[in-house]
């Protein structure tokens, strides 16, 4: 299957403002891209793409005083399969874990697992190790937190979300990550595009956060907010928590004027040429008259 992904972000700065962006599909995403997945700007400014320590594709640029629009629009191929699961996936003893998973066992900026060890073991200590334990954590977080955009804030930790019983998708993911780590299960934060493929009328496409847990010699995707396998995820970033996967990090103030995201299944096309023709203008964007170059 094919999915059209993109965003339009307009900011206004009073002075030159350096930006670090995490808005490009992750190198590990398996589907090919049709058209350009690069970040484009109006007005044009110099930019540099690099890989960070989690292999996330980052872009560095300096926004100049005034308004600037950042955008991207492309079509990516997707296998069309729901998130894989394995009810028999086992939990590894810490001594057997690969070295590169160990950093996902310890506390991080927003996932303060050291503060929740006692509570995690009280809640989940009697659950079977492995997949069943991670799923029990997902079930609990899904049922305990109330979702709402008004509940999000950039400084909110897993402990805050637990105490307030509210959050956005990143809070669901970070609380589940924190509880997994407290139970000695490597877990990492992830985010990217997620539309309504397979679940029509579930809301507009958006950037969404989920998490990955290491079981049975591989990383599995879990989603505490939706708590069901989904189709059409397009991974953008991974990290210890949202601090490693912020979409936009600014070194200075800016006013956000426009923020739109789309992630829609492409149907009715049979060739790449037909799919490229869809990218001649951005979808439903009366405020933006740019066309891809």
Q: Do 218 and 85 meet the contact criterion of CB atoms below 8 Å apart?
A: no
- Chain centroid offset of residue 27 CA: 14
Pick the CATH number of 94-231 from 3.10.620.30, 3.30.830.10, 3.20.20.80, 3.20.20.105: 3.10.620.30
pLDDT at position 283, please?
60
Q: How far apart are CA 269 and CA 267, in angstroms?
A: 6
pLDDT at position 228, please?
93
Q: What is the pLDDT along the chain (293 residues), one digit of tens a residue?
A: 999 999 999 999 999 999 999 999 999 998 889 999 999 999 999 999 999 999 999 999 999 999 999 999 999 999 999 999 999 999 999 999 999 999 999 999 999 999 999 999 999 999 999 999 999 999 999 999 999 999 999 999 999 999 999 999 999 999 999 999 999 999 999 999 998 888 876 666 679 999 999 999 999 999 999 999 999 999 999 999 999 989 999 999 999 999 999 999 998 888 999 899 888 766 654 333 332 22
Whole-angstrom Cα Rg for the chain: 20
The closest of 204, 163, 172, 178 to 191, measured between CA atoms, is 172
Residues of the chain with CATH 3.10.620.30: 94-231
Give Dmax (Cα) for the chain. Answer: 57
Q: What contacts 267, CB < 8 A, 6 or more positions away?
A: none
The closest of 61, 66, 57 to 25, measured between CA atoms, is 57
What is the CATH T-level fold of the domain 2-79+246-280, as seen in this structure? Immunoglobulin-like (2.60.40)
List the Cα angle 264/267/271 in 5-degree steps: 115
Q: pTM, whole model, 2 decimals?
A: 0.92
Q: Cis omega before residue 250 (within 30°)?
A: no
Residues of the chain with CATH 2.60.40.2250: 2-79+246-280
Long-range pairs of 276-281 with CB within 8 A, sequence gap ≥ 24 = 276/34, 276/35, 276/75, 278/4, 278/75, 279/4, 279/34, 279/35, 279/73, 279/74, 279/75
């Amino acid at each position: 299957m094919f999915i059209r992904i993109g965003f339009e972000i307009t900011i206004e700065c009073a002075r030159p403002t350096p930006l670090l962006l995490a808005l490009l599909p992750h190198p590990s995403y398996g589907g090919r891209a049709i058209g350009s997945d690069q970040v484009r700007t109006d007005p044009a400014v110099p930019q540099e793409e690099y890989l960070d320590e989690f292999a996330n594709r980052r872009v560095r640029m300096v926004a100049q005083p005034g308004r600037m629009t950042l955008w991207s629009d492309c079509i990516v191929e997707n296998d069309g399969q729901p998130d894989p699961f394995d009810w028999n996936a086992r939990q590894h003893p810490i001594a057997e874990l690969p070295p590169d998973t160990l950093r996902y066992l310890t506390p991080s900026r927003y996932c303060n697992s050291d503060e929740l060890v006692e509570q995690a073991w009280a809640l989940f200590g009697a659950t079977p190790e492995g997949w069943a334990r991670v799923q029990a954590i997902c079930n609990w977080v899904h049922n305990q937190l109330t979702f709402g955009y008004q509940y999000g804030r950039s400084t909110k930790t897993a402990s805050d979300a637990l105490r307030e019983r509210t959050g956005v998708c990143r809070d669901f993911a970070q609380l589940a990550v924190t509880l997994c780590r407290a139970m000695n299960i490597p877990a990492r934060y992830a985010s990217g595009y997620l539309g309504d493929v397979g679940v029509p009328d579930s809301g507009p496409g958006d950037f969404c956060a989920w998490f990955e847990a290491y079981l049975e010699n591989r990383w599995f995707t879990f989603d505490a907010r939706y708590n069901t396998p989904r189709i059409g995820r397009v991974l953008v970033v991974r990290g210890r928590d949202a601090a490693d996967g912020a979409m936009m990090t600014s070194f200075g103030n800016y006013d956000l004027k426009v923020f739109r995201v789309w992630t829609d299944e492409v149907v009715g096309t049979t060739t790449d040429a037909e799919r490229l023709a869809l990218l001649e203008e951005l979808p439903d964007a009366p405020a933006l008259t740019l066309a891809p170059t």
